[in-house]
Amino acid sequence: MSPRVDTILQSLTLEEKICILAGKDFWETVPVPKKGIPAIKTSDGPNGARGEVFADGKRAACFPAAVCSAATWDPVNAKRIGHALAEETKTKGARVLLAPTMCNHRHPLGGRNFESFSEDPLLAGKMASNVVSGLQEKGIAATIKHFVANEQETDRLAVDTIVSERALREIYMKPFEITVKEAKPLAVMTSYNKVNGTHADSHSFLLKQVLRGEWGWEGLVMSDWGGTNSTADSLNAGLDLEMPGPTRWRSVDAVTTAVKKGEVTEATITERARNVLNLVEKVGAFENPDIPPEQSIVDPKHSKLIRDVAGQGITLLKNDDRILPLKKSDMKGKKIGLFGLAKKALIHGGGSASLNAHYRISPEEGLKAAYGNDVEFKFAKGVQTYRLLPPLAKGCTDLQGSAGWTMEFFKQDRTAKPIKTTNGFKESSFSPILDNEAKNNEVKLTATFVPIESGSHYLGCSGIGPTVVRINDKVVFEQKDNSPDPMGFLLGGNPEKEFRVPFTKGESYKIEINSKPPAGSGNWGILADLPGFRMGFMHKKEHDVDMFTQAKEVAKECDIAIIFTGHTPVWETEGQDQLSFNLPRDGSQDKLVEIVASVNSTTIVVNSTGVAVALPWLSKVSALVQAWFPGQEAGNAIADVISGAVNPSGRLPISWPMRIEDAPAYGNFPGEEDKAGQRTVKYEEGVFVGYRHYDRLAKDVVHFPFGFGLSYTTFAIHNAQVSLMSHDAFKAAATVKNTGSISGATVVQLYVGRKQHSSEHPVKTLAAFKKVLVEPGQEQRVEMELALKDFAYFDEAARAWKVDRGQYDFSFGQSTADIESVVTMDIGESRELKL
């Protein structure tokens, strides 16, 4: 208990206590100056402190995505990132970082997988707990999210996740439990979805019984943005802070009415307020209440860290005939063809993880810096990878004759007189998220457009609510209904149907775009009552260009071809799940690889996604490098691995299935809607997620198993031993030898499972791991500690963690499929462990 917080609480009226239980605005809490309570500021997100502006705000450092840092299999890296994120957060005037994201990779099409660490709860928990420790050691509150079972983006505001308590405990809550117990995060963010019929923000079992009860956690629980769904229920369940503000559910009138009706007690209000004030105190805001202006500071130490961690996370998946590395000394006078997304730095996914990076090094820039003038580089893009046509900006003049568009706000259905007019608006899209003046109004953009060439050009349009496009007063597009995917719209990936309009070069065309807020009822979250739209445009010549032929000709004349594939932020993003297991767009990236590989026998693919994707061309390429989303130093980190300056040591934190049909959640993702429009997703695979599922199959259905990764050297594990340290703790050790010719690092992975397999339990479970650097020809002894809880199962009938008596195999390897040493231990009696 804090004397200062107690004193302040005693001075507050009921109304004042209610006021601090919701945000002031999008990022800050409510201050009560006359009672000495300052506001504190929060900031996204998991791979960089973005600050208060979603797009084009103050520049910020972009760190490797969580899945990339997890691929290092090194919690030390996670703590180093946490330290740096804390320093970055301070430059944005914030005291609370909305990170890390730590939901499990349940299905390869999960839109937000890249933002989370792994399919395995132990690996995810160890990485997340170290990020939290790093943040909080430097005075910034971590917010672990999203609690819990938020493994999809489809209908994320309302989907009902039906999941067994065993699967919740062993898979989905386990990373949170590890992080809470090891790192004591100051804040937890609830998820949008329902869990077994109850919204997570109002879930007493999750928040009261488990989080605050069994785990003994003391801290602040906040909602996801727009993720509060009730007044009394969320207060009673333990949701301290509704975000963002202004409040939708916790007005003084609403809460005082609930108190008067006996739906919530004043003691509960006081407890919620206490948790808010405790956070204010723990981040030092009472002593220093100022919120300084945002700054953009490029820290060379952070740049080096980003490049280092990215290089360790990049994972070499195929390397036929040791084609890699392409050593600079061997490349002199060679001609290297760069294809696909070589000029695009795929540094992060979309949504909360996106930011305006200090800089972004493309693969082309990184490779040119690495090889200098010794190599001649040729480039052919080969594919169009846009998801939406780019907004129309060039050739447009507003109503005053200046470059851009005129934006007008009107009261709905009263368009004779605007209530706000802005000229010089940049382009044909309007995102309302931070413009409170747009609320309950309709918006119109107007411009005169003069095309630079004649033709039947391509347009595409979508809106949050009903939207109309007119050209010279003629309707060319009308969306009569609300967007089927409002968050997808907000984050740039809403599906749009392209249409064509004839234009004549040099003629003037008046274009008007009208959009209204969503009509009718519905769960719109932070987009409620807000209009928004985008209209894209592309000239016919640019749209229909034959890029494949150009790429084929370049590939023929090059000694080596490197194709850069992947997902841009609109293809892999918060707000919606992936459209396909195949790379976008419409199979064009896969076709590009096939075409280039057919004419160049030394073809290397570098893929940047946060998830596994289909690899129909895998047998036709010489090498495959999985680069993930490696942050602002992407091109340099990729060049380090390609050139051999860095020996790759990344290991997969996910399994990589050959077909989406073989994924454990296939058929149960993203669930089904009933007649009333309520979506339900059933976690029928239970605890058999990722490798726990693939281990049970009679045939090999993965391209690459969990934990897999190649190096430019080789390793062997031998002389494994396991000993009992105490009643429930073990010490494990093994010797690692570098059997190759250069220095390198590998990960010793220890899995535990019953010697006699059972259909009710995984074949084996990751129970410990350690990354080790070994010099060529040398050996190193690796020691790890683990406890019974690390491979226990949850018995729902007994409501306890258990380890049954019997023989258990302790398997040491470098992936789930590469087990090199097994020690069998006998557990003489069944054990029941505390919750």
Q: Which residues are catalytic?
A: 224
Residue 800 phi, psi dihedral angles, 5° rounding: -155, 155
φ/ψ bin of 707: left (φ > 0), alpha (ψ from -120 to 50), beta (otherwise): left
Rounded to an integer, what distance in angstroms lies between the CA atom of residue 354 and that of residue 50?
8
Q: Kindly tell me the sign of the dihedral angle through the C-alpha atoms of 686, 797, 200, 180.
A: negative
Of 135, 149, 126, residue with least CA distance to 185: 135
> What would the two tokens of residue 424 be?
């010089």
User: What residue type is 362 in one-letter code?
Assistant: S
Rounded to an integer, what distance in angstroms lies between the CA atom of residue 62 and that of residue 358?
8
Rounded to an integer, what distance in angstroms lies between the CA atom of residue 320 and that of residue 370?
23
How are beta strands 141-147 and 96-97 bridged, if at all? parallel
Alpha-helical (H) ranges within 384-534 are 486-490
Rounded to an integer, what distance in angstroms lies between the CA atom of residue 767 and that of residue 752?
6
> What would the two tokens of residue 183 be?
């790192």
Bond into 146 cis (ω within 30): yes
Beta strands in 593-706 (DSSP E): 603-608, 623-626, 656-657, 672-673, 679-682, 702-704
Rounded to an integer, what distance in angstroms lies between the CA atom of residue 113 and that of residue 105?
6
> What would the two tokens of residue 161 be?
């996740």
Full 3-state SS string of 47-94: CCCCCCCCCCCCCECCCCCHHHHHCCCCHHHHHHHHHHHHHHHHHCCC
Residue 387 phi, psi dihedral angles, 5° rounding: -95, -35
Bond into 325 cis (ω within 30): yes
Q: What is the DSSP string of 554-568?
A: HHHT-SEEEEEEE--
Of 144, 129, 138, 130, residue with least CA distance to 89: 138
Helix (H) or strand (E) holding 670: none
Beta carbons of 644 and 327 less than 8 angstroms apart? yes
Of 67, 59, 56, 153, residue with least CA distance to 566: 67
Beta carbons of 627 and 606 less than 8 angstroms apart? yes
Rounded to an integer, what distance in angstroms lies between the CA atom of residue 235 and that of residue 232?
5
Cα 331 → chain centroid: 37
> What would the two tokens of residue 807 be?
């023989």
Beta carbons of 692 and 793 less than 8 angstroms apart? no
Of 738, 727, 705, 722, residue with least CA distance to 812: 722
User: What residue type is 191 in one-letter code?
Assistant: S
Q: Which residues contact 751 (CB under 8 A, 6 or more apart)?
A: 764, 765, 766, 767, 810, 811, 813, 816, 819
Rounded to an integer, what distance in angstroms lies between the CA atom of residue 275 and that of residue 296?
32
Beta carbons of 761 and 688 less than 8 angstroms apart? no
Q: What is the DSSP string of 525-592?
A: GGGTT---EEEEEE-HHHHT--HHHHHHHHHHT-SEEEEEEE--TTTSBTTB--S-SSPTTTTHHHHH
Beta carbons of 343 and 608 less than 8 angstroms apart? no
